[in-house]
Amino acid sequence: MSAKSEKESILLVDDSAPTLEVLERNLVAEGYHVLTASDVAGAVAVLDSTTVDLVITDLKMPEVSGMDLVRHVRDNFPDTGVMMITGYPSIEGAVQAIKDGAEEYLSKPFTDEELSAAVRRAFGNLHSRRQRAADVTAAPSMPHGLLGESEAMREVFRAIGKAASTSATVLITGESGTGKELAARAVHYGSARSSAPFVPVNCGGIPDGLLESELFGHVKGAFTGASESRAGLFHAADGGTIFFDEVGETSASMQVKLLRVLEDKEISMVGSNRLRKVDVRILAATNRDLLVLVKKGLFRKDLFYRLNVITIALPPLRERGDDVMLLATHFARRFAAEMGRSPVQFSGRALDVLRSYDWPGNVRELENVIQRLILMTDSDTIDTPDLPQLMRFSAMRQTGLDRTLAQVEQEYVSNVLASVGGNKTRAAQILGIDRKTLRQKLRRVSGSESAGEHSSET
């Protein structure tokens, strides 16, 4: 009973019963206490009767829109977070939602991971807001949840600090899952703009035609179906920060438009010639090498230089040394707590495997692996057999522990022979065998090589 009341509570509001059911199941599995309502009136009743930490509401609902609920929560429950779910056709609703105080929006369709990441971010924002309210003099913690003690990450923290103190455009680079979005948030929330909106835009995920009207808005009659004027994300981000994620995916025509905004700090709505000044700071991220794209003629050089005023380069996890341990322990603690379990530890051998694995998916992969481990294992200590097969295998390869005896022997024989300049008599002496045996072993080496060549031809 007491464990339950310590869980964070989420009120889900959606008029579609199947959607409610799926979302509820996912969030309960993540350890949240979930309440549901099928319309705004029901939601208001729940809010009046119990304390809710986060409201997640659909935008489009038959009677009263989700937007009214956002306003209701903002006006009456300052300690409650709000997240809005929108569909593509109504994404402009996100603009209003953010203006009205939703801290997060999620556009359909979204994956389970995107949902859980957005919920965690919403709670992260909520916690820091409560923390600030509770103790204004609190020492600054790690900027927005970015953990790391390695020299490589200290360098990143310095770059974030520098970027936060200016309004310059920042290009954030790094492989997938290295924390680019977290870094972008850290820059925004560490800057003088922190009380204005942070608006992420996934340039890779929005069709080109839509992207323009979404960013800049459109006037009535700008295109078929534009029955009224709508503001864009740039308007929503006024005074704050806009974050172009996957900027390397933008089309040539979009690149021209972005360049113009960066140069003139002016936008015009689709279908209008009137220019309007905007005060929006631009951050961009990419997991691609933009310079390579520039060379291939796929990315404008002038835009690259405009974006790349300050660079924050996130190192891959495999170059962060013991940060892997720090993060694994952090995620293990977090997921165990979310699932209401006692703390979980790693055996020394399991830690060795985690450390030697090369983490192609970086922190996101580590986070997912740990979450799965905590879900799948009951014991309080995670040992090597609990780890995913693939990871154990690749750790073995790194330590050379996946070779057969015959392979090891062949390699050793070749190395010894090479070390004596090909002198077979000397090599046989060192190996403690006679020359005939050595010749046989060497035949096997060259025999297996030519067999290898042969099979690769067929």
Ligand X SMILES: Nc1ncnc2c1ncn2[C@@H]1O[C@H](COP(=O)(O)OP(=O)(O)OP(=O)(O)O)[C@@H](O)[C@H]1O
- What are 357-362's contacts with CB under 8 Å, separation 24+? 357/391, 357/394, 357/395, 357/398, 358/318, 358/394, 358/398, 359/316, 359/317, 359/318, 359/324, 361/176, 361/177, 362/174, 362/175, 362/176, 362/177, 362/178, 362/179, 362/316, 362/317
> Which of Mg ion, ligand X, none sits in contact with 146, Cβ below 5 to 8 A by type?
ligand X
Paired strand residues for 219: none
Question: Looking at 93, 179, 217, 316, which residue binds ligand X (CB under 6 A)?
Answer: 179
Question: Looking at 177, 200, 248, 316, which residue binds ligand X (CB under 6 A)?
Answer: 177
CB 415 within 8 Å of CB 431:
no
Binding range to ligand X, per CB under 6 A, among 95-103, 132-140, 361-369, 401-409: 361-369
Between 176 and 194, name the residue whose CB sits nearer to ligand X: 176
Question: Would you give the binding string for Mg ion spanning residues 150-189, x where CB under 5 A is met?
Answer: -------------------------------x--------
Q: Crossing angle for the helix pair 323-338 and 348-356, nearest 10 degrees?
A: 120
Within residues 259-298, the interface with ligand X by CB under 6 A covers 287
Within residues 192-251, the interface with ligand X by CB under 6 A covers none
> Which of Mg ion, ligand X, none sits in contact with 269, Cβ below 5 to 8 A by type?
none
Is there binding between residue 363 and ligand X (CB under 6 A)?
A: yes
User: Among all chains, which residue has been given the structure tokens 């009046």?
Assistant: 48
Q: Please, what's the largest Cα pairwise distance for the chain?
A: 93
Is there binding between residue 143 and ligand X (CB under 6 A)?
A: no
> Which of Mg ion, ligand X, none sits in contact with 262, Cβ below 5 to 8 A by type?
none
Q: Which residues contact 195 (CB under 8 A, 6 or more apart)?
A: none
Binding range to ligand X, per CB under 6 A, among 31-39, 93-101, 142-150, 349-357: 142-150
- The distance in angstroms from the start CA to the end CA of the chain is 67
Is there binding between residue 326 and ligand X (CB under 6 A)?
A: no
Q: Please tell me what DSSP assigns to residue 44.
A: H
Sheet (strand 104-107) strand order: 33-37, 9-13, 54-58, 81-86, 104-107
Nearest distance from C-beta of residue 183 to ligand X, angstroms: 7
Between 145 and 190, name the residue whose CB sits nearer to ligand X: 145
Is there binding between residue 176 and ligand X (CB under 6 A)?
A: yes
Nearest distance from C-beta of residue 368 to ligand X, angstroms: 9
CB 43 within 8 Å of CB 57:
yes
Please say whether the dihedral angle defined by the alpha carbons of residues 400, 404, 405 and 411, taken in this order, is positive or negative. Answer: negative
Is there binding between residue 128 and ligand X (CB under 6 A)?
A: no
Q: Which residues bind Mg ion (CB under 5 A)?
A: 181
Q: Which residues bind ligand X (CB under 6 A)?
A: 117, 145-148, 174, 176-182, 287, 327, 363-364, 367
